[in-house]
Amino acid sequence: MQSKAKINIKQALNEREGFQIWWRLLRPHTLTASFVPVFVGTMLAYIDGSIHVFVFLAMLFASILIQSATNMFNEYYDFARGLDTEDSVGIGGTIVRDGIKPKTVLNLAIAFFGIALLLGIYICLMSSWWIAVIGLIGMLFGYLYTGGPIPIAYTPFGEVFSGFFMGTVIIGVSYFIQTDTLTAEVIWISIPIAIFIGTILLSNNIRDLDGDKENGRKTIAILIGRRNAIRFLGLLFIIAFSLTFFFIIVGILPLWSIITILASIKTVDVINKFKGKTQPIEMMPAMAATGKANTIYGFLLGISLLISKFI
């Protein structure tokens, strides 16, 4: 029989049975960090030439699989270390609330890595085997994010690593596999995306601050406190938009990229949803809004690049 706490948290989070159990395990609100960079990197390649659709799809699915597997490793190792409970929010809850065996979650993560590896081989055959090296390093850090003796997620560097690998690296790889080259402009353009991806983790850490602190983590949110972390989150949004406008002015981005300013509406919503909140369940809408802000910004940026190709 389910405990009262388990029932209450499932009701509060509107968690459903069946397929929803496995969908939650993927933590879909974080998957924007995998498909946005691939989209942007591919659009950058398109305006500089053309794109190979099947290579794009392979990169897209490989990126999503690696992100999903990373989330599963997070679910497994946080449970193994006793950090997740029935009352934990921001997790899939597949183990602690739905009763799925931890080994099943771990094996599924490994299987996702395996499929991503096969897709990576195809991408290498179509471009360069150097991509295999980058891909293996990316998967290694995906595992070390919550696995290994000193998980990256437990340190102040989680936002930096997630932003760099999921933002800059994926955009660079997505561009390279289409063009067989890499330009400084691509790296510069990747920075705002990397910042937005970092804000997803920062929002997560703001929400989980109290629980993470009790469990000995040393995230940025813990080190500077919740109020300052929210201010820092707002500053990161400002920096991302400021860089975008600067890149437009100097000609790195097309004028059409000004439409990304529309994403600022959602970033303001993020900050407002965090203000005055102290309970993790209260901050879930802010966390979800951060992922949406990344999606809106990345989608608009990619669309602006596509428009500039024809106009």
Instruction: State residue 138's pLDDT score.
Output: 85
pLDDT in tens, 124-152: 999 999 999 998 898 888 888 877 788 88
Residue 293's Cβ-count burial label (10 Å; 0-12, 13-18, 19+) is buried
DSSP 118-156: HHHHHHHHHS-THHHHHHHHHHHHHHHTTSSSS-GGGST
Q: Please compute Rg for the chain using Cα positions.
A: 19
Cα(110)–Cα(135) distance, rounded to whole angstroms?
Answer: 15
Provide the terminal-to-terminal Cα distance of the chain, rounded to the nearest Å: 62
Residue 254 contacts residue 304 (beta carbons within 8 Å): yes
In order along its 311 residues, the chain shows pLDDT tens digits of 444 444 455 555 555 676 788 888 888 878 888 999 999 999 999 998 889 999 999 999 999 999 899 888 888 988 887 777 666 666 667 888 778 899 999 999 999 999 999 999 999 999 999 999 998 898 888 888 877 788 888 899 999 999 999 999 999 999 999 999 999 999 999 999 999 999 999 999 999 899 889 888 899 999 999 999 999 999 999 999 999 999 999 999 999 999 999 999 999 999 999 999 988 889 989 999 999 999 999 999 999 999 998 88
Sign of CA dihedral 176, 179, 181, 187: negative
pLDDT in tens, 20-52: 888 888 888 788 889 999 999 999 999 988 899
Sign of CA dihedral 136, 138, 144, 150: positive
Tell which residue, 198, 252, 192, has the closest CA to residue 220: 198
User: Which CATH architecture best describes the domain 29-303?
Assistant: Orthogonal Bundle (1.10)
Q: In angstroms, what CA-CA distances link 210 with 83, 218, 300?
A: 12, 11, 35
Instruction: State residue 153's pLDDT score.
Output: 85
Instruction: State residue 10's pLDDT score.
Output: 55
Instruction: State residue 181's pLDDT score.
Output: 94
Instruction: State residue 238's pLDDT score.
Output: 98
Q: Can you list the alpha helix ranges (DSSP code H) found in the chain?
A: 4-12, 19-25, 32-47, 53-80, 102-126, 130-144, 158-163, 170-179, 184-207, 209-214, 220-224, 226-249, 264-274, 280-310
- For the chain, which residues make up each domain, given as ranges? 29-303
Report the predicted TM-score, pTM, of the whole model to 2 decimal places.
Answer: 0.88
Q: In angstroms, what CA-CA distances link 220 with 129, 141, 166?
A: 36, 19, 19
Tell which residue, 189, 167, 195, 173, has the closest CA to residue 254: 189
Instruction: State residue 1's pLDDT score.
Output: 41
Cα-flanking dihedrals φ and ψ of residue 217, to 5°?
-75, 160
Q: In angstroms, what CA-CA distances link 190 with 4, 89, 178, 208?
A: 46, 31, 16, 28
Instruction: State residue 141's pLDDT score.
Output: 87
